[in-house]
Every structure is written in structure tokens, then in C-alpha cells.
Structure 1
């Protein structure tokens, strides 16, 4: 990045010619950055355990776990890339150049969009599993889920590249000073992004899980009323239903926590603030990122297979021959 003589530079701690002031008091900023950095490390470690678990153990190669794997990869990237770079962008002069700034903006758009897409796919997976569990295994296959996951990632990257193309063509048009990397969207772009990455997917998620809840309550009532008079075949069917209901409840918790962390960030956009440099948006953004750390904790609370796989990973038993065939479920 070239700087003309006499041009204004960001951050007075570096040079005394600043055109930008901190959005938070220094003590609060230091505490927040330290907290975010610690959460970043924890996010990377926890999601890496999820990724290794699903990749390594063959029993976990199920359609639902493939979706959880895709979600874990996006959350791993949040902890590895987005959180640390966001700290750098907010606390020091941007010295990585305009192109790297553009790449960061694209990545910071693509990864959250992919996470939202993964949540839609998870909700759809649970809807089919509960609403039509007899045909679930034929309709929802590993191959189809992998295709949907790839399309989700591709569409997110393509969408963000198109929306942010002007930032690549004219990277300095929104800069108030040199040494800055800001994310700004006009009203039309902001409205489109809000609709495609928040309003539409969240509506789909809520509608699907409301349908899941209604069907789950009905099936649970039927199971209780017929549990004493079933044949072996029906018993197996009821066991399958019970397993699907439990998975729906667990993933329902996952979706609810995701939405709770998502609403504050997009709530600011609904209020009309599109500049990601205000303190309110910073806190909302960090809360959205914090969700990436919570999901593996939810897995540990509700999934015995995750606790077993973590034990095998931590004790390095996965390095033994044939460990991928271990019984986890």
C-alpha cells in the first residue's frame, strides 16, 4: 500500500497523525481482545477434535455427522482466521495490503454464510428423519449430503465474491485514512445480504423445526401408547424412532443456540447500521463468533460418541492400527 507524503495514517500509538479514534476505552479493548484470543484458541482446539473424530472413525460417516463436520470446519476457520485477524484489524494499523484486506473481507463473509447454510441443511436433515423416517436412509445418503455441503460452500464463496467485487476494484474508496481495512456496504447490498444470509435461512430453520417439533410430539405420544404391545419388528422401528427423536432434540439445542448468537449481530443491521467499526457491531460480531466455540461443548454434553472419540484422540489411541474401525456409537 503506497502512502503519499502528508497523508493521514490510522492509530495514534503508531504515528501522531491519526484520523481515527478507538471505539472502546483502552482497558475494555485490551480485555475484550484477550478474551477473544483465548476463545479463538479454544474454538480451534474443540472443533479440531470434532473434525478428527468424524474423519477418522468409520462409524461416524453418517449423513448427519457429515453436516456436523462441515459446520465444524467452518467454525474451525472462524477460530483460526477470523477471530485473530479481527483483533489485528481493530487494534493495529493494517499492514497486509489491500488485496489481503479484500481476501479477509471475502472470507469473513463466506464462512458465516456457510455456517448458516449448514444450519439449514441440518434442519432439513432432521425434518426428513422425523417426518419420513421410513424413507430417510434412501432419501438422505452420504453422497447426497456431501454434494449439498459442497454446493453450500461454493454458493457462499461465489455470493460473497460477487457482492464484494467493488472492494477489489476500488479497495480504498471507503478508507478514512491509510492503514485501514474496513467493511462497508451500501443500503441495497446490505438489504440483500440481510435477506439472503439471515431472514430467509432463519425463517426456513424455524419453520422446519416447528414441523419437527409437532411431528416429534405426536410420535412420542404414539410410542408411549403402543410400547407394551409390539412385535420384534415394531420394537426395532420404535428404537429407531427414539434415536431420531433424541438426535432432533440435540440438534434443536444446537440450532437454538446458533440463532441466539446470530440475532444480536444481524439485529444491528436491522436497525440500519452497516458499518462494522462501531462498538455495538463489534460485540455482536464477537458473540456470533463465540457460537463456534459453543457447538463442540453441546456435542460433548449430548453425544456419547464425541466423548468416546475425544478420549481416544487425547490418549493417542487413534494412532494404533485399525483404530478407525473402533466402535464409537
Structure 2
């Protein structure tokens, strides 16, 4: 008959085995119910964004390409990050040291990519609002595609460099058998993945806000002699400012969901992977990836129209990609 001590071990036959940590009912509810639900919703909603922008030619604009890239990174959060994180926070790791490193590496490619996409969206709005006349030539589709490719390439390279030590000597950071531990340079990670992107986003959007206020005052002070020209200019400017406000909401939501985790890191508190605090912080990250398509639904009429066309299977018709979804 097993003793109580043996029953608490991940591998009762091994003296070097890790001990199982019992979970509270609240933790179990968060991990096995709430996180999978958020994961499924995140995948479905972001898949709708990807299909909409990819299928309808009218939506192939530089700004929407950035939204497409963001949707891909959010999709990967729901598809890869959540399942792997559930495995990593289990009391016992049963899949071996190589699977531990791969399970830690493959999903988190999307996390730096999300921050990178947010920076690119801020740059897009900055150029569109602050330099509207040269925006079509500065940020062409080809340029934006190149920037997106660089963003994803950097994300992959960044994670490879951080995990090279873990790959060279598998399992050397484990204190017992049945544990999955990897190490990263916390200071460098904090600077590259949080401080630099967040600083860039805030600086760019503060500049966008200042210019937007200035433009709004300028619009009201135009003389009646150039009424027609003003009307055309105002239409363009209002369109760009509306897009800036919408994407500003996306950026603010991103900051609200990601700042708590990195705020804890800045405070010097060591966050254990399996701790309740880490689980709550991670749910905030999933919530951010799930919330972006919801924002598009409320703000963008074209997204609501695309969803209707997708669910009614209208996109299966020939030449449906040329359907006008923008007014």
C-alpha cells in the first residue's frame, strides 16, 4: 500500500521525483474551465478576422494587413499558448526535457510578435495622422508586408537566442525529476519585450493625440471661401482620426492586459509558473487576444458585414472576394 509521501510524488518509484502541489477549487476552475473557454473563443473570433481581411480584396489596405498580422498572433495565443501553458503549470511534467523546452519555446513566438504588431499599428497611425499627404507613399502594402515579416522574424530569433542555453543542456535547471524549468535573462526580456515597445507606443500615440487636437481646431477655423476643399480634406482627416481612435482603444486594451504581469516583474517579485497570481496574469493575456475582434465588431461595420457573409456561406460563391464590404 502506498504511503502518503509516495502518493504525493510525481514518480513514486524515484527518490528524486518532484512532489505534487494540490490545487484549490478556484485554481482548477480557472485552469480547466475558464482558460479553455477563452482559448476557443479567441481562436474562433480571430479566425473570422483572418478570413475577412484575407478574402475580401477591398480590405487589402496597409492598416488592415497590420490587423491581420495581429489577428494571427492572437490566434496563436489561443491555439498554442493556452494548451501549452496548461501543460506547463501542471504539478508534474511527464513529457521529458526536450518537450519541455519546445513546449515553452514554440507558443511564445506570438507574444513578442503581438507587441511588435502594436508598435507597427502605432507607427501606421502616426504617419497617417501626422503626415497624411505622404502616407500612401510611405506605408505601401509592400512596405507593410516587409515590416510584418521583420516583426515575426525578430520574434522567432529572439526566442531562439533566449532558449539556446536550455537546448544545449536539457533539464539542467530542474531541481527534481518531473519538473519543467527554463531560464531567461529577466532584465533583457523586460527591456526588449515590454519597456521598449510600450515606450514607443505611448510616445507615438501621444504625438497622434496632439496632432489630432490641432487638426480638429484647424478644421473649425477654415474660412468659407474654401468650403469644398475643406469638405474633402475633412472627410479624409476624419476617416484617419476615427481609425486612430479605434486602434487607440486596441492599444489601450493591450497595455491594460500586459502591464500587470510586467509590473510585477519590475517590482522584483518572482512569479512562479504554477502560482495563482501567474494564472490570473496569463488569463489577462488571453483576454486581450480575445477582446480585439470584439472591438472590431462594435467599431467596424465592414467586420460585421464580413461575419454575416461568412456565416451565410456567401464567401463560397465565385468572385465573392470582390464584394464591397466598405461603404
Distance 1:314 1:227, change over 3 A: farther
Which residue is 1:306 aligned to?
303
Given that residues 10 and 177 in structure 1 are in contact (C-alpha distance below 8 angstroms), is that contact kept between their aligned partners in structure 2? no
Which residue is 1:318 aligned to?
315
| CA deviations over 1:121-142 (Å, ceiling 9, x no partner) | 0000000000001110010100
Distance 1:140 1:315 in 2: 34
Distance 1:246 1:229, change over 3 A: farther
Which residue is 2:100 aligned to?
101
Which residue is 1:248 aligned to?
244
> What displacement does 1:229 show?
5.0
Q: CA RMSD in A?
A: 2.2
Return 5+ residue gaps in structure 1 as ranges: 1-7
Distance 1:73 1:11, change over 3 A: farther
Distance 1:207 1:171 in 2: 41
Tell me the TM-score normalised to structure 1 length: 0.90
Given that residues 10 and 19 in structure 2 are in contact (C-alpha distance below 8 angstroms), is that contact kept between their aligned partners in structure 1? no
Distance 1:16 1:247, change over 3 A: farther
Which secondary structure state, in structure 1, belongs to the residue aligned with residue 274 of structure 2?
coil
Return 5+ residue gaps in structure 2 as ranges: none
Distance 1:228 1:92 in 2: 72
Which residue is 1:88 aligned to?
87
Distance 1:239 1:97, change over 3 A: same
Distance 1:229 1:26, change over 3 A: farther
Given that residues 182 and 276 in structure 1 are in contact (C-alpha distance below 8 angstroms), is that contact kept between their aligned partners in structure 2? no
Which secondary structure state, in structure 1, belongs to the residue aligned with residue 37 of structure 2?
helix
Distance 1:10 1:301 in 2: 52
Of 216, 220, 229, 1:220 maps to 216
Matched residue count: 318
Distance 2:323 2:6 in 1: 58
Given that residues 131 and 215 in structure 1 are in contact (C-alpha distance below 8 angstroms), is that contact kept between their aligned partners in structure 2? yes
Distance 1:169 1:289 in 2: 31
Distance 1:310 1:97 in 2: 42
Tell me the TM-score normalised to structure 2 length: 0.91
Of 16, 24, 30, 1:26 maps to 24
Distance 1:10 1:197 in 2: 41
| CA deviations over 1:27-61 (Å, ceiling 9, x no partner) | 11221011010000000000000000010000110
